[in-house]
A = this chain, B = another copy of it.
Amino acid sequence: MPDHPAPPPYGFFGPVGTFTHQALLSLPGPFVPVPYATVPLALQAVRVGEVAASLVPIENSVEGGVSATLDNLTYGSPLVIIREALLPVQFTLFGRPGIALTDVRQVLTHPHAAAQCRDWLATHLPAATVTEGGSTAGAAAEVANPQSRFDAAICAQLAGEMHGLAPLATGIADNADAVTRFVLVSQPGRVGPPTGADKTTLVLFMRENHPGALLEILEQFASRGVNLCRIESRPTRRTLGDYCFSIDAEGHIDDARLAEAMMGLHRTCADVVFLGSYPRADQIPPDVRVGTANEDYAAASAWLTQLRG
C-alpha cells in the first residue's frame, strides 16, 4: 500500500523528445510527463484538470515570442504562469544509423530549426534538401522509420537519443547563444509568495488606439519604479494596426510598486490580463530605486493617514 500520493501529471508540448520535454525534465519533481501534440492542447489539459500544470515555450531569443502560447494564454480562459525555465538552444544533426555526414541529402526538421541552422546547412550540406515539418521530435521519429525518404533530422539531443539515431554534428545553430524560455502554467489560485527575484506577466489592451497610448502605459510602470524585462506588441486578432502588449515586469504582485502600477493599468487600459507572478529562472533580484521599496510605500500610506487627521 502506497503511503504517499502519486506524482502529479505535468503536460508538455510534445511529442516525446522535444526541447520542451527536455526543459521539463530539468524542473524539480516528482511529476509524470504527459506529451500533447500542440501548445493549445497542452494548455487545454490544464484547464480541464487532466494535468496539474503544463510546460510550453513562450519566447525564443532568435525567433521572438511564441504566438500559439501568447495568444492562448491571452484569449483562452484564465491560466497563470507559476514557474519559468530557460534552455540553451542546441541543435544536433542526427542521421539514420550508418549514414555519414557527407551522404546526407534529405534533412527534415521544424521551420524554426531550419531557420536557425541555415548558415551551417549552407556551409556543410550545400547539396542537401531541407524539408520543414511539424516538430523536431517528429522529424527524428520520421528519420528513424526505415521506410523514410529522409536521411537526417535536426533536433534536440533527447529526441535523437530516444529514436536511436546517430549524432552527425552537434551545436550547429548559427547563433550559439540562443535560448528558449518555457513557462509552467496552472489554473489560477493563490499566487505563490514573493522570492525577492520575481517576474510578473501581463497583457495590456489599449482603451483606444491613440498615438501616445504606449507612452502612457510605460509611464504607469516608470512612475512607480517598475522595470520591464520584456515588451512585445501583438496584433489583437482584430484589424491590422490594432495591438496589445505582452509584458514581463520585474517584481511580484505582492510588491507594492508593482501592485500600484497594475492598478494604474487596470484603470487606464481597456483590459489587463494577469498571467502570473513567479520566480525568475535567472534569480536576478530587481534594481529597486530609491523610494520604491515596500517600506517606502508603507511609510507613504502611514503619512497620508496621519495627514487626514
> Which residues of A are interface residues toward B (Cβ below 8 A)?
40, 59-65, 67-68, 86, 111, 115, 118, 131-134, 175, 177, 179, 181, 188-191, 207, 211-212, 214-215, 218-220, 222-224, 227-235, 237-241, 243, 253-254, 259-260, 262-264, 266-268, 274, 287, 290-292, 296-297, 299-301, 303-304, 307-309
Contact = CB atoms under 8 A, between A and B. Distances in A.
| Main secondary structure on A side of the interface with B | mixed
Contact of A189 (B86, B191, B290, B309): B309
Given A237-B61, A268-B291, A218 B223 contact: no
A64 B246 CA distance: 12
21 contacts: A40-B118, A59-B240, A63-B67, A63-B235, A64-B233, A86-B240, A132-B132, A218-B218, A219-B223, A220-B223, A223-B264, A230-B241, A232-B232, A253-B307, A254-B308, A263-B304, A266-B299, A266-B304, A267-B291, A267-B300, A274-B307
Given A131-B134, A189-B309, A190-B308, A224 B291 contact: no
Q: How many copies does the complex hold?
A: 4
A190 to B, nearest CB: 4
A18 B308 CA distance: 33
Contacts of A299: 266-267
Contact of A243 (B62, B231, B307): B231
A211 B61 CA distance: 19
Considering residues A60, A177, A240, A262, which has the most beta carbons from chain B within 10 angstroms of its beta carbon? A240
Nearest to A309: B190
Contacts of A190: 308-309
Given A132-B134, A267-B296, A222 B229 contact: no
A230 B62 CA distance: 20
Nearest to A224: B264
B67 A115 contact: yes
A175 B71 CA distance: 13
B62 A237 contact: yes
Given A111-B134, A267-B291, A308 B253 contact: yes
Contacts of A63: 67, 235
